[in-house]
Amino acid sequence: MHNLQIPHATTISALRARIRSWRADGLSVGFVPTMGALHQGHLALVQLAKAQCDRVVASIYVNPAQFAPGEDFEAYPRSVIEDSQKLTEARCDLVYLPTTEVIYPEGFATTISMTGPAAGLESAARPHFFNGVATVVAKLLNQVRPDVAVFGEKDYQQLLVIRQLARDLDLGVDIIAGETVRERDGLALSSRNAYLSADDRQRAGRLNQILKQCAAALADGQSIAQARQTAFEACLAGFDSVDYVEVRCATSLAELADGRLDTPARVLAAVRLGKTRLIDNCAATPS
């Protein structure tokens, strides 16, 4: 199917045969699920998995269940040959390339429904999103059955949703967080950054600066409401529109009562530049 240097599997049976051989040799297995269009952020997750485990599987699958009608499913960048070359250079051991027939075979009738950390934030703009993510990630984790799976902190809400999923369904996998990899101006690496015009790219780095300023204000004792409002207004001034700017509990994403921050938190935002939607977050600690 694909003329790739790196060993690859397109079926569950081929995937499990390779993993079975590793298990027979007593080797541990790490897993990095991706939607392709790989950048240095993804490769950092592979390196983190390599540091934790003897062998690493990366999957590439653009999951239709997490795109709503009118979102960019058809346009989402796909570059399997280039991605596989990058995974080879990152010393990934196997790339899993399932088709939609493998993930959602005819008659597929199950969806995982998430609440808890899935409530609000991304769900407000994309109510379909986390159920689609949870369903495909549960399938992939069951197919690979890794010891460790690595997810990036850039998608912080997704990270907490997947931790909840693994915990609630007793999936027996350790979910590890990889730090966000950034451009020099602070812009979080994302496959969708390819959509930014040159002018919008100049403005995009401002998002991380605004979030860091919010976290600094919270650490200085400014009230949550005031720090959030200042960040929201800065985003309104700097971007075409703002989906949200929020300060939430770092471990559960629960809303926090106003006043001085007294627990580890996360500042999270989603804004739009032209047709591109940017999300980012940063840690906030009490003074």
Let me know: does 118 contact 145? Beta carbons within 8 Å.
no
Binding residues for beta-alanine: 66
Binding residues for (R)-pantoate: 66, 158
**Side by side, which strands form the sheet with 241-249?**
241-249, 265-273, 276-284
Q: Name the residues annotated as catalytic.
A: 42
Binding residues: 35-42, 66, 152-155, 158, 181, 189-192
**Non-local CB neighbours of 97 within 8 Å, separated by 6+ positions:** 1, 2, 8, 9, 10, 59, 60, 61, 80
**Non-local CB neighbours of 180 within 8 Å, separated by 6+ positions:** 41, 152, 153, 154, 188, 189, 280, 281
Residue in 79, 51, 61 with CA at minimum distance from that of residue 15: 61
Side-chain-side CA neighbours of 261 within 13 Å: the count stands at 28
Binding residues for ATP: 35-42, 152-155, 181, 189-192
Side-chain-side CA neighbours of 100 within 13 Å: the count stands at 6
Characterize the bridge pairing of strands 241-249 and 265-273. antiparallel
